[in-house]
Amino acid sequence: MTTAIKINFNLLLDKALIGKPVPEPGFNFFLRNAIEVKKNRDKKIPEIVNEFKTEINKILEKYNTLNEDDWLKNAWFFTGKANIRTLFLVQLSDNLFHERDLLISLGKWEGLNPKYSSALVDWFMREFRPAGFRPDKAGSLEARINYCLDGSYWNMKIKDGKCAVEKDEASEPHIIIRAEAENLVAAALARAPVAVGRISRIIGLAIPAVYKEDFEASATGIYSMGSALIKKRIRIEGDKRLVRNINKSFWHFWQRTRQAEENIKRFSYLNETA
């Protein structure tokens, strides 16, 4: 998480602030991070936590200087066009779940702080989920999905090649998804036990570097989602065939390099017209 702040979030925030938010073609957000992570793999957890606190304080100083107009400036993340507010929420999510992983490994995790969880769920449902929608794959798909997360209700509607999310229940939903927000977001962001990551890295030694990070995210993502479903931490009710069609209509976290490449091309005009 420390490396992500130093080499990616700082860069994306700085580019957004000067009006050139979109990285150049060939920018590989995840490979850059993987290279830095490899350099720090032998560090002890307390050392990593201290570095994290230092780096997060540095970037928070930048955010603390922003005025209301700055928060709405164009920004970019691998999911595509965003604004600085969204970039901040993305980073909050990334930091929370990396900290969660570290504390789980130390046996000290006590669950998401309610102070942050509502903002996290709001970002995840309103922005992250719709940003992964692929109209080209959805075609004529029509679906109404209700999410019940920590007692709050959200609905997602897919129709006419569009995906919309609102904080409310949809009447007569085709699919109902019930979960604690932490479990759903963790599965969507491919969080998995350390042992799963180690095994995926060993297998990934035979894979070209440019695809290695996506392969590891795929392995951890499949494990995370699969185990959450098997253990009923995420419960899905409704037409299973429709669930599969919905699943095909979204980018997945382990496809993030391809998604980033497409969005760099798609939103490159932001640099030209700023």
Local mean pLDDT, 10-residue blocks, the chain (274 residues): 75 93 87 77 78 82 92 94 92 82 84 82 92 94 94 94 93 94 89 80 78 78 89 93 94 87 91 68
Supply the pLDDT for residue 215.
81
d(CA 223, CA 239): 23
Supply the pLDDT for residue 273.
57
Supply the pLDDT for residue 3.
65
Report if residue 7 sits inside a domain.
Answer: yes
Q: How many domains does the chain have?
A: 1
Report if residue 48 sits inside a domain.
Answer: yes
Supply the pLDDT for residue 1.
56
Report if residue 21 sits inside a domain.
Answer: yes
d(CA 139, CA 158): 10
Report if residue 186 sits inside a domain.
Answer: no
Report if residue 74 sits inside a domain.
Answer: yes
Report if residue 115 sits inside a domain.
Answer: no
Extended beta strands in the chain, E state = 74-77, 80-83, 143-149, 152-159, 162-166, 175-179, 234-238
Supply the pLDDT for residue 36.
77
What stretch of H or E contains 11?
helix 10-17
Report if residue 1 sits inside a domain.
Answer: yes
d(CA 92, CA 133): 22
Residue ranges making up the domain that contains 20: 1-110
